[in-house]
Structure 1
């Protein structure tokens, strides 16, 4: 694999410039990473999770890195030759430039001499961005310098209550329906099943409708599912926990053969599992457990919820939002997750890395302040602190947006991966919601 990456990086030079190297920093400590960024010969750098691009003078620069950690080199480069591409809906994305590295849900690509960075205004799934040298696109939480906090017994009890088998059973049930938002019967059956799960937990269930474009023109009406816990002492302070319940296959308009086990029965079932363990502790703040329709088409369900909150005068009550999208797949037994939000909510973002370090140390968390492309975005755009939690291998999941996205195909690491993300989220939400 490293040899293949090295070949990918052997790009013909366009003009005289810096020499660049991609360095594996997955096992480097803070001091080693800082030495790579600011050592002799380094003129600029870009950090992408467990990869670091350094550029400058070749010989002194390469002496800073262990030979085995250098994954590839590129001659004669300038920052203007690079671009970041969002790692979403890969089968539809334009293939511009050469892949250099991945990190934090972004690809770093080097554009050819005559290539321009593609522009997809308003299309979050195919977004491109110019790079800014000497910046962190995404960072492994372990390199943040924040020490794990002591465990809190009441939070530990909530974390321990997460049941991977029970969660995966719900994934399997949801994947039994083709849940395209363009469909009717199967989507309605899944919607009502979710509502019944919420109701069985003592939540107040509503199914607010919204309009979205139909596949053949015109508009259609679809519904979100909301299970509301009213806080015992702070009922007017709301936490939203959400994930979309709709699915798709390769053909977006198809209403059949869309089991969507990983995308996103895993996240929707995760909302139900978090409801189970949190409601049992009677949170002091209100919690809205939400499953959205219309996500695959353009985040219509979550956007509608934000609009409804604004119209009802309740948007100000929302204190935080946690979204889960694709939380079960891991290509190997190393459990990696990405959590992202805007930079202004970095303090909230860090809580997720800290929760994983304390309660789920097997989970390697990468944090990013360059969010895109899921149901956290409408809340962020409404100035609400919201995060997305997603497993890191979604873009190499072989069954992504296919009729073969079945529970059995999520792989042997699904229980460990899904429960790790759920435990991290449970720890943060338990602290935010307040336990009785």
Structure 2
């Protein structure tokens, strides 16, 4: 297997453009026949792609694979320019130093204290939709403002500015949807905006997460540089809403496509926490993979040998459909248990906001089903517009009625 891989040419990746929320069937073939595959992304050097669950866990969780080393290489990527990824480009102990500063804000206990306020926001948004009457765009009127308002209150960012920073955040998830000069302009605007809020807190301390980061900086300058603080705050603001904004309509769309499972959930709302976990497993958020890890030494995976210095890309969507871990993996089963999915990644870079995203998704889907029991698409499914040229896949608009 290894010798064949060494002489074979790299395959262009992603293999096909993303098709709605359907996972490319090529991944299933690779898991079975070629779990370690040589690929060539649009930019950067060649890499290995791993598609099996067990291999993905190794690459993401084993310290023999490094994110930080990517800075020394022409990292394989989907964008012509290399974007600053802050904490996502670090290894321990540098990564641990930054993550520890903000991890307390995202514990399960702290997030649960946000649930009543999140529920209040969700109900207010539904009230406004009902008052205006159908049809309504679920993306614009519910899925977008809900996570934005929650992360704003957590960080201490004025919600009145949500239009600006939501627009700027596209620079972080764009591949070709924005030209390079616009991406840089948006990043500069987002970082400048966060730097201004941080500067305010140097002079007028606050109890929000930004205020806590500033106190950590002022009290112990070795823990956090000003640049790290700005990048971390901008990343939290963008990542803290962008993926959840996308997944709320993705999950609704998936449930509507699976009416039997939707009926089970409507009949028994206690299934909601497990249903969200299954949707996190079943729905592929990424349009393509990225964030290469580099082997620090030779590592044997199930498909062959990765040599020291080689880049490896993991495909989370494929890992979440691995039949070695999930029975009947392509079927949506809202009562699936156990469900050790990797919807939030794995290892030291496991999503910092996983608990917050879980809570928001539970509130969002639960409120929609409870308040709008006849929720349905207001246009044919084939007419729905989908995002393109982005790292994430999702709907631009989702007209619904009830």
TM-score above 0.5:
no
Q: Which protein has greater RCO, CA pairs closer than 8 Å, 6+ apart?
A: 2
Bigger helix share:
2
Bigger strand share:
1
> What TM-score, normalized by structure 2, do the two folds share?
0.28
